[in-house]
Amino acid sequence: LRQRWSPRAFDDRPVEPEKLRSLFEAARWAPSSNNGQPWRFLVAGKENKVEYDRLFNCLVEGNQKWAHRAPVLLLSVAKLQFEDGSQNRHALHDTGMAVENLAIQAAALGLVTHQMAGFLIDRARMDCQIPEGYEPVAMMAIGYPGDPALLSDRQRARETQPRVRKAATEFV
């Protein structure tokens, strides 16, 4: 768990399809309310320029400045209702659990991920044809660790600063 972090420096090396499948297999096993499994993922690698650009263009400018190096982009989406049509008020939580499984599996495979709240939700809804009843949750860059020297001075400073976490006594 301590190996998982959110860098901005990505190598442009493609992620192997079997590793991507492994990430989604890990997400598949996340717990969810009533086993609703509300998560959906839109994913594109650079080899699919049209789909990659569709996701990339949903990012805010600040994230575009570094995320263009990531070989894979992902948009997580939560289905807000159960199959019977009733509200799933835990859909966002459950989708986050699936994403965390994915991120931990990525770290185990030598990959890095960076989740981003900085994206244009309305553009994602429109460009990705997300239907009513589904909520775009977050974007994620996926790939291999890259060289921080390729980042801007500000991004490099953030990249190389020590990771700090609150002590458990602060939230328990």
Burial class (CB in 10 A: 0-12, 13-18, 19+), 141: buried
Residue among 132, 133, 138 nearest 55 (CA): 138
Helix (H, G, I), strand (E, B) or coil at 114: strand
Average pLDDT of the residues in 128-143: 98
Instruction: Give tens-digit pLDDT for 90-109.
Output: 999 999 999 999 999 999 99
pLDDT value of position 82: 97
On the question of pLDDT at 3 being above 80, the answer is no
Say what the pTM is: 0.93
Q: How far is CA 87 from CA 37, 48, 82, 135, in A?
A: 13, 35, 6, 13
Q: What is the pLDDT of residue 165?
A: 85
Mean pLDDT in residue range 147-162: 84
Which residue matches tokens 């458990």? 168
Q: What backbone phi and psi angles, to 5 degrees, belong to 114?
A: -140, 110
Least confident interval from 5-9, 109-113, 130-134, 163-167: 5-9
- List pLDDT tens digits, range 39-98: 999 999 999 999 999 999 999 999 999 999 999 999 999 999 999 999 999 999 999 999
